[in-house]
Structure 1
Amino acid sequence: MNPKLSIGSWAFAFGPFAASPWSFERILAYAAEAGYDGVEINGFSPHPTPDSYPSRESRVALLEEIRSHGLGISGYAPDFTAAPPDRCEPERYLALFRRYLAFAADLGIGTLRVDTVSPPAELPEAEYEANFARLAGTWRASAELAAAMGIRIAWEFEPGFWLNKPSEVRRLVDAVGHPAFGVLFDTSHAYMCGVVGARQTGEPETLAGGIVAFAKLLEGRIVHFHLIDSDGSLHDEETSTHAAFGAGKIDFAAFLRAVKPNLTVLPWWCVDFCFNAEAEAWGREAIPFIREAIKEAE
């Protein structure tokens, strides 16, 4: 395993950084100095969006700036909060998706991250199935658009969003049933969803084999990978706490060893320090930690 490592720019825009987010230019300089191979772009202002880079020429200039730091782009995580795909009209979501897809294509980005937007909710069976079918259909249509441009969609499940049980994750990606659509496997979210059962409605669903069992449940369906530790808690009772590597409950060397075939095909692994006040310092420590875990896993 010799993946390129990136860092998500959202770590320097949300949570403790929200009042004074880092500029994207500052993040590029930091990522290069810390030894990362690239960045994963947070699609929320003040980081790059189709509005802040409205023309192809402006996007080419942005790409040149990123490359001037010796960096690539591992993925793009745009803002879909205005169009929950399980509840809004498909065309409303797809109109937004097309804008983001064009932005990603102009920057040569191969992976576009999505989520269900809606929070976990206990729904009557008929409403649950209707929303599920709408979501699967909307994402299948999105995948058709993405495939035509050589881009893949990576769905990031997490405890703070609807469909956070292991069986639901597997069922949804299979229901979409398109080669351009798959799962973004985040180790912290996988721990909170598959081991803790955080924010699940109804009967909790966990896996005796932990995140290794979760990854194997999704074998052949993982198209992108986020690494971060988990201490088993939620941030603000909403989503997974993103802990420092080595300070949580995940044995990364053992995990990487167990699911190696699923991960070796992924060119990029992204470090995710979302909502973490220590992102700057811990982001520097992440690279040697991950490289050492890879060595132990070989």
Structure 2
Amino acid sequence: MSITEFSHSKEAFTETLSRILLIPEYRIIKLHLQLEQWGEPCDLSYGKCNLQKAGEILMRTSLSSFLYLNYSLNEAIQHIAMAGFDAVDIWGGRPHAYRNDLHEHDIRSLHNQLDDFGLEIASFIPAQCDLCSPHTAIRMDGIRDIQTSIELAARLEASIISILPGHSLHHQCPDEGWDLLADSLARIGEFAGHYDVLLAIEPADKYASDLINTTVQAMDMIDQIGCDNFGVVFDTGHALIAGEDTDTAIRALGDRLFHIHLSDNHRERDERLIPGKGRFDFQTLIATLKSTQFEGFLTAEPGWQYTLDPDSAAIETREFLEFILQE
């Protein structure tokens, strides 16, 4: 059990308390009000139960800050904590953590906020860039974008950075795109070697990439570039579209499985539905992860359609993850 304690003004306390009480399943362990700042002692403490049994492999839940793209990163972190997640995956687009937007005082503020809420950073998700373009200037810009993201992730103490492969151009031979991507990733891997971070290739759906759609292709790329700091993100939505067998894929990845992204669809397109709303078999996923002793984060990635009411999506997602982890 982990309990995070912090103090507020009377107004902030009232707002925080109302948010917590709106979530009956939040599992408040201790709620103690003292009125010190208003003439008597004041303190608010709350926490979350570890729902897994003693001896079980610990898998923790995270939510991509992308769901709160209409909010500041600080606001996103607050809402994600209030929804009951253990961690946040920081989206590297604006207004959250784009390239050089965050300065030292911003990073200190984020660290303090994460500590206050007892949240970890599960991974850093850079803004999309082109790593396989036949145009050298564009590809080099993409490499620099990822390198900047690596520097920022290290300052944020995020240990995993996910990378999408991109798509070759309509007139470009896919083999050329593959080789250019391999060169880009090799450069990025060498650069990342100077930082305490791991790089995770995320196989994309067939509409977003014609280079890496499966975990097998991701491992082929890792074998080609020969960088020890590369692994794979297993994305449930992308795996469903690609027709991957979950148990086989997870076991084949072994210790190269760095991270898990959770979304759902109906096998036709990357709908980015809340987990459990489509056709992916999450029970098999959790059973395999427990069997292989995976101890990382399970990060939910609800799509654009949920961004106008992100709190409802966050709570519904957390409730589903809680359900499948208890089975």
- Normalised by the shorter chain, which TM-score bucket? 0.7 to 0.9
- CA gap of 1:41–1:165, structure 2 versus 1, over 3 A, is closer
List aligned pairs for 1:242-253, cutoff 5 A. 242-253=272-283
Shift of 1:70: 2.4
Give the equivalent residue in structure 2 for 1:204: none
Q: Which has the larger radius of gyration?
A: 2
Shift of 1:130: 2.9
Report whether the alignment pairs 1:10 with 2:66: yes
- CA gap of 1:274–1:173, structure 2 versus 1, over 3 A, is farther
Contact residue 177 and residue 211 of structure 2 kept, 8 A: no
Give the equivalent residue in structure 1 for 2:91: 42
Structure 1 residue corresponding to 2:200, chosen from 120, 131, 154: 154
Cα distance in 2 for partners of 1:87, 1:228 equals 32
Report whether the alignment pairs 1:269 with 2:315: no
Cα distance in 1 for partners of 2:91, 2:268 equals 24
Aligned length: 264
Report whether the alignment pairs 1:87 with 2:134: yes
Shift of 1:145: 1.8
Q: C-alpha offsets along residues 87-128 of structure 1, whole Å, 9 cap, x if unaligned?
A: 3546444332332111111111111121123268585xxx33
Contact residue 229 and residue 244 of structure 1 kept, 8 A: yes
Cα distance in 1 for partners of 2:275, 2:62 equals 15
Cα distance in 1 for partners of 2:161, 2:198 equals 6
Structure 2 residue corresponding to 1:260, chosen from 261, 278, 290: 290
SS for the counterpart of 1:41 is strand
Contact residue 90 and residue 123 of structure 2 kept, 8 A: yes
- CA gap of 1:142–1:84, structure 2 versus 1, over 3 A, is closer
Contact residue 190 and residue 214 of structure 1 kept, 8 A: no
Report whether the alignment pairs 1:231 with 2:278: no
Cα distance in 2 for partners of 1:243, 1:80 equals 20
SS for the counterpart of 1:220 is helix
Equivalent AA in structure 2 for residue 276 of structure 1: Q
Equivalent AA in structure 2 for residue 171 of structure 1: D
Give the equivalent residue in structure 2 for 1:185: 234
What 5-or-longer segments of structure 1 have no aligned partner?
Answer: 14-20, 196-206, 235-239
Cα distance in 2 for partners of 1:157, 1:49 equals 22
SS for the counterpart of 1:255 is helix
Q: Cα RMSD (Å) of the superposition?
A: 2.4
Shift of 1:251: 2.2
Shift of 1:30: 1.1
- CA gap of 1:225–1:101, structure 2 versus 1, over 3 A, is same
Cα distance in 2 for partners of 1:101, 1:225 equals 19
Equivalent AA in structure 1 for residue 59 of structure 2: P
Equivalent AA in structure 2 for residue 150 of structure 1: D
Structure 2 residue corresponding to 1:108, chosen from 152, 157, 174: 157
What 5-or-longer segments of structure 2 have no aligned partner?
Answer: 1-56
Equivalent AA in structure 2 for residue 74 of structure 1: A
Contact residue 131 and residue 184 of structure 2 kept, 8 A: no
Cα distance in 2 for partners of 1:179, 1:250 equals 31
SS for the counterpart of 1:276 is helix
Give the equivalent residue in structure 1 for 2:71: 22
Structure 2 residue corresponding to 1:139, chosen from 151, 172, 185: 185
Give the equivalent residue in structure 2 for 1:221: 256
Shift of 1:132: 1.4
Cα distance in 1 for partners of 2:241, 2:93 equals 25
Shift of 1:246: 2.4
Give the equivalent residue in structure 2 for 1:174: 223
Equivalent AA in structure 2 for residue 10 of structure 1: F
Equivalent AA in structure 2 for residue 177 of structure 1: G
Equivalent AA in structure 2 for residue 283 of structure 1: A
Equivalent AA in structure 2 for residue 233 of structure 1: E
Cα distance in 2 for partners of 1:129, 1:87 equals 12
In the superposition, the TM-score normalised over structure 1's length comes to 0.79
Higher RCO, 1 vs 2 (CA within 8 Å, ≥6 residues apart)? 1
SS for the counterpart of 2:261 is strand
Structure 1 residue corresponding to 2:325, chosen from 276, 294, 297: 294
In the superposition, the TM-score normalised over structure 2's length comes to 0.72
Shift of 1:170: 3.1
Give the equivalent residue in structure 1 for 2:174: 128
